[in-house]
Homo-oligomer: A and B are copies of this chain.
Amino acid sequence: MDTGRKLKVALLGCGSVGSEVARMMTTHAEDLAARIGAPVELVGVAVRRAGRPRPGIPEELLTTDATALVKRGDLDIVIELIGGIEPARTLITTAFEHGASVVTGNKALLAEDGPGLYAAAAQHGADLYYEAAVAGAIPLVRPLRESLAGDRVERVLGIVNGTTNFILDKMDTSGAGYADALDEATALGYAEADPTADVEGFDAAAKAAILAGLAFHTRVGLDDVHREGITEVTAADLASAQRMGCTVKLLAICERSADGASVTARVHPAMIPLSHPLASVRGAYNAVFVKAAAAGQLMFYGAGAGGAPTASAVLGDLVAVARHRLGESNGPGESAYARLRVAPMGDVVTRYHISLDVADKPGVLAHVATVFARHDVSIDTVRQQGKDGEASLVVVTHRAPDSALQAVVAELRELDTVRDVASIMRVEGE
């Protein structure tokens, strides 16, 4: 190790995470130097708008010219916390071209073009680290990429978006509808002014793509992830879940098929039993289960977002990458050798909870049951409630391919005796 060296670090983006990273690089400077084996120096911070006060960051470090910063040529590490696709992608690849390694928390970009970034890193002998991109402070990328590297991951299942978890939690505990719960989340700062990325499941889908890629050593892009958000979840769904001893969570699920030949990745709301550990994950917390052939079931839990927790993940990566710079080595690059087939949602084996508004007359259940039987979907439980000539029928199925379940729903909609398919939700976690 070259111990006389000082490592030069540039920071792109100085929002809640970036400012915390800059602060910790100062306050933890001695610890970081001791743990790395050399001091790290923050030599530049690219911001969008100049002139704003940035407490704790010397003004001479600030620049609005991120491109010039990553082109300096003397940087060891670039920390990218701008987010989004561009200019982040160009800045990262430019950083590689100019000899730097990169630490990023950019889940959208990794899900969009992870292979391209990995290739650029490999071409220039640089590291690409991104623990902060998934589940904030929770070590998840490193365990999947390294700790479980000798095992065979079968499933990753978890809550990876705090905003939607807060909203669903609120709906569950207060009986509020989606719109009211979203308003409260916005007022409390848990949801952004434009909540689309969270509530439509884009953020969780990006994380699912990253996790599936790591877990299965196979390229999984955002387009490969089946995505349903929580905007259609109703207070009635939550009430129905409660009657079943369940709650509703937005889950990211990456699975290897039973024969091992294909994988699936999906994000959708699902009912899970209250007895499942994920049911008690509250507010903005994240929790992820990883099931591997030899390790069995593992669970990781912690703060899924926020400035300080995410900064902790960034700085852990910074230490690792800095050590590699000193040792002139690299951490793991892309591992996509398995090239498993990414199967569509129809291949996923799951269970449905279906609420039907039906005519309250004899023979309806027989009609309905015939549709399930025709698609080889076996019924677990049926609950009938009748009042005033109307009746509701709640059917929970056994496990079946999603395509069969969808075919059942399509046929039910056509039945004369079925007035409305009031809600459909998958049941997971059993």
Does A324 lie within 8 Å of B329, measured CB to CB? Answer: yes
Asked if A295 is at the interface (CB within 8 A of a chain B CB), the reply is yes
Q: Within 8 Å CB of A335, what residues of B?
A: 34-35
Does A320 lie within 8 Å of B146, measured CB to CB? Answer: yes
Say which residue of B151, B298, B303, B327 sits within 8 Å of A138 (CB atoms): B298
Does B296 lie within 8 Å of A309, measured CB to CB? Answer: yes
Q: Within 8 Å CB of A329, what residues of B?
A: 324, 327-329
Asked if A150 is at the interface (CB within 8 A of a chain B CB), the reply is yes
Q: Which of A167-175, A227-235, A311-319 contacts B (4 or more CB under 8 A)?
A: A311-319
How many monomers of this chain does the complex have? 2
Q: Nearest Cβ distance between residue A14 and chain B, in whole angstroms?
A: 17
Name, among A147, A302, A335, the residue most crowded by chain B CB atoms within 10 Å (CB to CB): A147
A160–B335 alpha-carbon span in the complex (Å): 32
Does A217 lie within 8 Å of B137, measured CB to CB? Answer: no
Does A332 lie within 8 Å of B323, measured CB to CB? Answer: yes
Name the residue on B nearest A23 (C-beta).
B294
Does A150 lie within 8 Å of B298, measured CB to CB? Answer: no
Does A302 lie within 8 Å of B297, measured CB to CB? Answer: yes
Name the residue on B nearest A318 (C-beta).
B150
A41–B137 alpha-carbon span in the complex (Å): 36
Asked if A299 is at the interface (CB within 8 A of a chain B CB), the reply is yes
Interface residues of A, CB < 8 Å — how many? 57
Question: Contact string, A23-35, partner B, CB cutoff 8 A, digits 1/0?
Answer: 0100010011011
Q: Nearest Cβ distance between residue A154 and chain B, in whole angstroms?
A: 12
Does B34 lie within 8 Å of A148, measured CB to CB? Answer: no
Name the residue on B nearest A30 (C-beta).
B337
Name the residue on B nearest A298 (C-beta).
B302
Does A147 lie within 8 Å of B139, measured CB to CB? Answer: yes
Does A294 lie within 8 Å of B309, measured CB to CB? Answer: yes
Q: Nearest Cβ distance between residue A96 and chain B, in whole angstroms?
A: 18
A204–B401 alpha-carbon span in the complex (Å): 45
Say which residue of B142, B148, B303 sits within 8 Å of A143 (CB atoms): B142
Q: Nearest Cβ distance between residue A385 and chain B, in whole angstroms?
A: 34
A421–B296 alpha-carbon span in the complex (Å): 43
Question: Contact string, A274-304, partner B, CB cutoff 8 A, digits 1/0?
Answer: 0001000000000000001111111111110
A65–B309 alpha-carbon span in the complex (Å): 50
Q: Nearest Cβ distance between residue A410 and chain B, in whole angstroms?
A: 40
Does B302 lie within 8 Å of A301, measured CB to CB? Answer: no
Q: Within 8 Å CB of A306, what residues of B?
A: 296
Asked if A365 is at the interface (CB within 8 A of a chain B CB), the reply is no
Asked if A357 is at the interface (CB within 8 A of a chain B CB), the reply is no
Name, among A32, A277, A295, A320, the residue most crowded by chain B CB atoms within 10 Å (CB to CB): A295
Q: Nearest Cβ distance between residue A30 and chain B, in whole angstroms?
A: 9
Does B301 lie within 8 Å of A149, measured CB to CB? Answer: no
Known contacts A146-B316, A296-B302, then 16 further A-B pairs from the complex at CB < 8 Å, ordered by chain A residue: A34-B335, A137-B298, A138-B298, A139-B143, A142-B146, A142-B147, A143-B143, A148-B312, A294-B312, A296-B306, A296-B308, A298-B300, A298-B301, A299-B299, A299-B301, A323-B332
> Can you sample 20 A-B contacts with CB below 8 Å?
A24-B150, A34-B338, A35-B149, A35-B217, A137-B294, A143-B143, A146-B320, A147-B316, A149-B315, A149-B316, A149-B319, A150-B312, A151-B312, A151-B315, A295-B308, A295-B312, A296-B308, A297-B303, A327-B330, A328-B329
5 residue pairs, one from A and one from B, having the closest CB atoms = A150-B315, A329-B329, A137-B295, A139-B147, A149-B319
